[in-house]
A and B are shown apart, each in its own frame.
Chain A
Amino acid sequence: MMQFLQNLGASTRTSFTKLGRATYFLIQTLAGIFSILIRPRLLMNQMFSVGVLSFLIITISGLFVGMVLGLQGFYILSDFGAEESLGIMVAASLVRELGPVVTALLFAGRAGSALTAEIGLMKATEQLSGMEMMAIDPIRRIITPRFLAGFLSMPLLAALFSAVGIIGGQLIGTGLLGVDDGAYWAQMQTQLDFYDDIINGVIKSVIFGFVTSWIALFEGYDAIPTSEGVSRATTRTVVNSAFSILGLDFILTALMFGDN
């Protein structure tokens, strides 16, 4: 019993210290934002590797998710003779939920794991200490641009995901299943609210971008500087990001759409 309590206490303490380190890390990262504004080139390079290079996976996934939504939605809606509502169904699911969530999950897998591995290896090969000894703050030079890039890319990628998904739904719905093209778009236009749906979706993706980038970069920075340590950190990034995204999504959805 004592042993159990001791272990419980020790693991709680470890978790809280880690949380403390992560918070301190975040504060240092955010403090560096001003220095990035003076040198936008650093940010642009990272936006390219984090954002632009995720373009393809996001577009293709978005297209398929939209097409599946078109198919499934059509079969259910046609039972009620409401095929014309396919547009709003596809668009609302994408903009409110699937866009931000699936994009964030893909982002954590594609860009988050890459960030963790990169930072972890930089630590393992003493590049970060080397920079410190050259009087260059590795957080400002390396971490902050990557953090900002992830944070800014996520809403853009989520928007792209939703847009491509809506086109995918239309391809299936109007092209294959014979839903009226005008109805598909008109229903969407009248029923989708800019603030309630689109802005809330954007807020979600901004928050997911923040959390995913934070987790990925912190795990890399905090990794044990060995091959095994980096591999574990990469796994933790994907697992923790997925948990946080899905958990936060529930909380955010409850807050945003709970009173409807």
Chain B
Amino acid sequence: MDNSDSSQNTLVSVRNLTFSRGNNKIFNDISLDFERGKITAIMGPSGTGKTTLLKLIGGQLYPEKGIITVDGENVHRLRRKELYELRKRMGMLFQSGALLTDMNVYDNVAFPLREHTHLTESMIRSLVLMKLQAVGLRGASLLMPNELSGGMARRVALARAIALDPMMILYDEPFTGQDPISMGVLVLLIKALNETLGLTSIIVSHDVCIFIIQPKTMWMIYYPLENGIEVMLGYAIANPTYAEQNFS
């Protein structure tokens, strides 16, 4: 993998992206790459459009200008069906967990499997319990989402995100509002998933705890003050040698 050219190593590439919400220009001509099989972190203060970037990558929002490709496919040029096919290979962990509140934990994790596969119920059962085991919540399979703590809900959501064995997971602020212990559990989980399943992980966070994960690449998004008016501009600083320098 190391010797192959950069386009093969890049799973997600963002080129000359411009995006505004109303009159606020959130991204102005930014370009960044996300390496295949690695953890990439995006940091920046809140309101800089980190979550927006994830939604753009997932095809939920459309850019004004620029191209976003995921696994070689231009996300915003795909037809609806093709986009959905691509999304089956992506998992996303929402800030709130986004669990379906009318189903228990087991059914939540089984939900994408039941919708997208024709597996038998016994097969689904083994898969679901395996995924729940991976996040350490096998015993909680019969609880309803409102009976879970914030950290547990996020772990269940993680189990659901990996249910279809995606090639990449987008994490939206996974550490917000977590106590140190469940944060530690999540950090270990994200690392373990990345290593054992070879997932590409993109983590968005404003929390410095992201350093514990030792991402391969770190992108900073910030906005400068121009003439005293806050102008939302996206800038990206790449530091690919970051991991080597500091941790390994």
A residues sitting closer than 8 Å to B (CB atoms) are: 122, 125-127, 129-137, 141
Q: How far is the CA of A141 from the CA of B115 in the complex (A)?
A: 9
Residues of A close to B197: CB separation below 8 A: none
Q: Across the two chains, which residue of chain B brings its CB closest to A141?
A: B115
Q: How far is the CA of A127 from the CA of B99 in the complex (A)?
A: 6
Asked if residues A125 and B98 are in contact (CB atoms below 8 Å), the reply is yes
Asked if residues A135 and B87 are in contact (CB atoms below 8 Å), the reply is yes
Some 24 contacts from A to B, beta carbons below 8 A apart, are: A125-B96, A125-B101, A126-B94, A126-B96, A127-B99, A127-B100, A129-B60, A129-B98, A130-B94, A131-B100, A132-B60, A132-B87, A133-B58, A133-B92, A133-B94, A134-B87, A135-B84, A135-B88, A135-B112, A135-B116, A136-B111, A136-B115, A137-B84, A141-B115
Q: Besides A126-B98, A129-B55, A130-B157, 11 other CB < 8 A contacts? A: A127-B100, A129-B94, A129-B98, A130-B92, A130-B94, A130-B98, A131-B100, A133-B91, A134-B160, A135-B112, A137-B84
Residues of A close to B164: CB separation below 8 A: 134
Q: Across the two chains, which residue of chain B brings its CB closest to A121?
A: B101
User: Is B203 on the interface with A (CB-CB < 8 A)?
Assistant: no
User: Is B85 on the interface with A (CB-CB < 8 A)?
Assistant: yes
Residues of B close to A122: CB separation below 8 A: 101
In the complex, which of the residues B55, B91, B100 has the most CB atoms of chain A within 10 Å of its own CB atom?
A: B100
Asked if residues A133 and B101 are in contact (CB atoms below 8 Å), the reply is no
Residues of A close to B58: CB separation below 8 A: 133
In the complex, which of the residues A122, A127, A134, A136 has the most CB atoms of chain B within 10 Å of its own CB atom?
A: A134
Closest 10 CB pairs of A and B: A130-B98, A135-B87, A126-B98, A135-B84, A133-B92, A135-B88, A134-B112, A126-B94, A136-B115, A126-B96
What's the nearest-Cβ distance from chain B to residue A226, in Å? 13
Interface of B is mostly: mixed
B residues sitting closer than 8 Å to A (CB atoms) are: 55, 58, 60, 84-85, 87-88, 90-92, 94-96, 98-101, 111-112, 115-116, 157, 160, 164
Asked, given contacts A135-B85, A136-B115, whether A127 binds B60 with beta carbons under 8 Å apart, the answer is no
Q: Across the two chains, which residue of chain B brings its CB closest to A137?
A: B84
Asked if residues A133 and B96 are in contact (CB atoms below 8 Å), the reply is no
Residues of B close to A133: CB separation below 8 A: 58, 60, 87, 90-92, 94
Q: How far is the CA of A141 from the CA of B160 in the complex (A)?
A: 17
Asked if residues B115 and A134 are in contact (CB atoms below 8 Å), the reply is yes
Q: How far is the CA of A129 from the CA of B58 in the complex (A)?
A: 10
What's the nearest-Cβ distance from chain A to residue B223, in Å? 25
Q: How far is the CA of A133 from the CA of B160 in the complex (A)?
A: 11
Q: Across the two chains, which residue of chain B brings its CB closest to A124?
A: B96
Q: Across the two chains, which residue of chain B brings its CB closest to A118?
A: B102
What's the nearest-Cβ distance from chain B to residue A26, in Å? 18
Residues of B close to A141: CB separation below 8 A: 115
Q: Across the two chains, which residue of chain A brings its CB closest to B87?
A: A135
What's the nearest-Cβ distance from chain B to residue A227, in Å? 14
Residues of B close to A130: CB separation below 8 A: 92, 94, 98-100, 157
What's the nearest-Cβ distance from chain A to residue B154, in Å? 12
Q: How far is the CA of A122 from the CA of B60 in the complex (A)?
A: 16
Residues of B close to A132: CB separation below 8 A: 60, 87
Q: How far is the CA of A131 from the CA of B60 in the complex (A)?
A: 11
Q: How far is the CA of A126 from the CA of B99 in the complex (A)?
A: 8
Residues of A close to B99: CB separation below 8 A: 127, 130
Residues of B close to A126: CB separation below 8 A: 94-96, 98
